[in-house]
Amino acid sequence: MSSAHRFLKISRSVHLYLGVFTAPMLLFFAITGGLQTFSLHETTRGSSYTPPAWLASMGQLHKKQTTVMPVRRARPAETSMPATNADPAGAMPLPPANTPADARAAPSPGQGIAGVDARPKKNLLPMKIFFVVVSLGLLLSTLTGIYMAYRYSRKPRLISSVLVAGIVVPLLLLLF
């Protein structure tokens, strides 16, 4: 057997077993990433939507590699700002006195309270749809890869044990 043939055979085996081992996490990331595209894992300001606990936990695992949810403090209302930082006319609160002078300047008429330009919002829906299509493509590609691993392998027990290891190892790592 030539060295090129041996290298190709080893490469195929490495590709097969690494692909089967990482397939469960690829499925996890494809599903949770698709759900995160539409912010289904978090509560947004001004919305009454509350995500299910399992979905918020899986989103946290996807983003921060932990299921521990951070405690969020409530944002203070703008009316609760101290009177010393308010504009004498009472129209708009100013930043604290210890910020640079150019940051304390009042926003121009074309700017909002936060000092950002008043631009029309972009339509994010086409990009979100694209990312969901990519998530579905990754999901389908991973599932067909698992199918082909079983279909074309002469060692289905080894494939099954590598696939189970790809599920069990991340679950064990959550304990640390």
| HEC readout, 107-175 | CCCCECCCCCECCCCCCCHHHHHHHHHHHHHHHHHHHHHHHHHHHCCCCHHHHHHHHHHHHHHHHHHCC
CA distances from 174 to 20, 66, 134, 137 (A): 20, 7, 27, 27
* Burial category of 134 from C-beta neighbours within 10 Å (exposed 0-12, middle 13-18, buried 19 and up): middle
Report the mean per-residue pLDDT for the chain: 82
Convert the pLDDT of each residue in 44-62 to its tens digit.
Answer: 778 888 888 888 889 989 9
Convert the pLDDT of each residue in 61-95 to its tens digit.
Answer: 998 888 888 777 766 665 555 555 544 454 555 55
Handedness of CA 90, 93, 99, 101 (dihedral sign): negative
pTM assigned to the model: 0.68
pLDDT for res 17: 97
pLDDT for res 78: 59
pLDDT for res 149: 97
Asked whether the predicted pLDDT for residue 120 surpasses 90, the reply is no
Contacts of 145 (CB under 8 A, 6+ apart): 19, 20, 23
